[in-house]
């Protein structure tokens, strides 16, 4: 069975858990004490990943690291529909790849600010990290706005989300924990709500399920009427 070396509070680990859930892939979790134990930096764990980073998977002896790489691998191997990572569509693959790189930039900014605030990582320039995250959020918000204008719900063209959406989602939805408010990004907020409604969506600490859809709210009876 596939094994995931995991940490509950890691947004990068959450990306992998999301795709595993969306694809209904059974797996074994091995929880790593990232903080305060720093187990990921231990000699034992470095035998698994010399870089001392999470997440890592062991798929029947094939050991792979890096969240974005794991999304590509898992979708390529286990998604029979081919919708999460459409291998036969070079144009779409190119767009997905550029948004995976964008997700790495979000990790380096919004996630860094979250580490500063939650774990008191004083070596991080949090002001610079927040400013850079806001630049990225403005770029994505504008992209999503024009996508919506064209009838598109997701980051990349098509009627189905891709691993680009999974890669970007965690550290955006957790951004408030790093002092990065999403109030000025309405298209991002709508996209986050749509993402939470994907069948198989799972939560993590600090991430909540979607509220009632607009149609559902309209059906709620008002007391006394």
In SS3 terms, the chain reads as CEEEEECCCCHHHHHHHHHHHHCCCCEEEEECCCCCCCHHHCHHHHCCCCCCCCCEEEECCEEEECHHHHHHHHHHHHCCCCCCCCCCCHHHHHHHHHHHHHHHHHHHHHHHHHHHHHHCCCCCCHHHHHHHHHHHHHHHHHHHHHHHHCCCCCCCCCCCCCHHHHHHHHHHHCHHHHCCCCCCCHHHHHHHHHHHCCCCCCCCCCCCCCCCCHHHHHHCCCCCC
Q: Does position 173 have pLDDT exceeding 70, yes or no?
A: yes
**Is the pLDDT confidence value at 122 over 80?**
no
Q: Is the predicted pLDDT of residue 223 greater than 60, yes or no?
A: no
pLDDT for the residue 82 = 96
**Which CATH entry fits the domain spanning 2-78: 3.40.30.10, 3.40.50.11540, 3.40.50.150, 3.40.50.300?**
3.40.30.10
Token pair 């990349």 is found at 156
Q: Is the pLDDT of residue 94 over 60?
A: yes
Answer whether residue 48 shows pLDDT above 90. Answer: yes
* Mean pLDDT of the 103-128 span: 89
CATH 1.20.1050.10 range(s) for the chain read 90-196
Report in angstroms the alpha-carbon separations of 200 from 21, 25, 77, 123, 212: 6, 11, 18, 37, 17
Q: Express as a percent the part of the chain with pLDDT over 70.
A: 93
Q: What is the pLDDT of residue 119?
A: 72
**In the predicted structure, residue 200 carries a pLDDT above the cut 60:** yes
Query: Cα separation of 158 and 88, whole Å?
Result: 14
Confidence of residue 212 (pLDDT cuts 50, 70, 90): confident
Among 144, 158, 146, 154, residue whose Cα is nearest residue 187: 144
CATH among 3.90.1330.10, 2.40.30.10, 3.30.390.50, 1.20.1050.10 for 90-196? 1.20.1050.10
Among left, alpha and beta (phi > 0; psi -120 to 50; other), residue 38 is left
List, by residue range, all CATH 3.40.30.10 domains of the chain.
2-78
| pLDDT at res. 22 | 98
What pLDDT, on a 0 to 100 scale, did the predictor assign at position 225? 35
Tell me: the pLDDT tens digits for 180-191? 999 999 999 999
Beta carbons of 32 and 39 less than 8 angstroms apart: yes
- Kindly report which listed range (82-91, 118-127, 129-138, 183-192) carries the lowest average pLDDT score: 118-127
- 85 and 74 in contact (C-beta within 8 Å)? no
The per-residue pLDDT of the chain, averaged, comes to 93
User: In the prediction, which pLDDT does 224 show?
Assistant: 36
Least confident span in 31-40, 92-101, 154-163, 211-220: 211-220
Residue 77 has pLDDT above 60, yes or no: yes
pLDDT of amino acid 66: 97
Residue 214 confidence (pLDDT): 56
Token pair recorded at residue 48: 């698994």
């Amino acid at each position: 069975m596939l094994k995931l070396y995991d940490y509950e509070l890691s947004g990068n680990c959450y990306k992998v858990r999301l795709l595993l859930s969306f694809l209904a892939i059974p797996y074994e979790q091995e929880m790593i004490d990232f903080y305060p134990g720093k187990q990921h930096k231990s000699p034992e764990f470095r035998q698994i990943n010399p870089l001392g980073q999470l997440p890592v998977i062991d798929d029947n002896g094939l050991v792979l690291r890096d969240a974005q790489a794991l999304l590509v691998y898992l979708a390529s191997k286990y998604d029979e529909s081919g919708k999460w990572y459409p291998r036969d569509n070079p144009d779409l693959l190119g767009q997905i790849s550029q948004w995976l790189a964008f997700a790495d930039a979000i990790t380096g900014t919004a996630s860094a600010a979250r580490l500063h605030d939650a774990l008191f990582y004083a070596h991080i320039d949090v002001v610079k990290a927040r400013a850079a995250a806001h630049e990225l959020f403005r770029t994505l918000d504008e992209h999503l706005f024009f996508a919506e204008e064209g009838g598109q719900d997701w980051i990349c063209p098509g009627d189905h989300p891709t691993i680009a959406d999974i890669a970007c989602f965690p550290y955006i939805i957790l951004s408030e924990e790093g002092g990065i408010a999403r109030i000025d990004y309405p298209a991002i907020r709508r996209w986050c709500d749509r993402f939470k409604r994907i069948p198989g969506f799972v939560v993590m600490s600090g991430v909540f399920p979607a509220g009632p859809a607009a149609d559902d709210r309209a059906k709620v009876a008002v007391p006394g009427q």
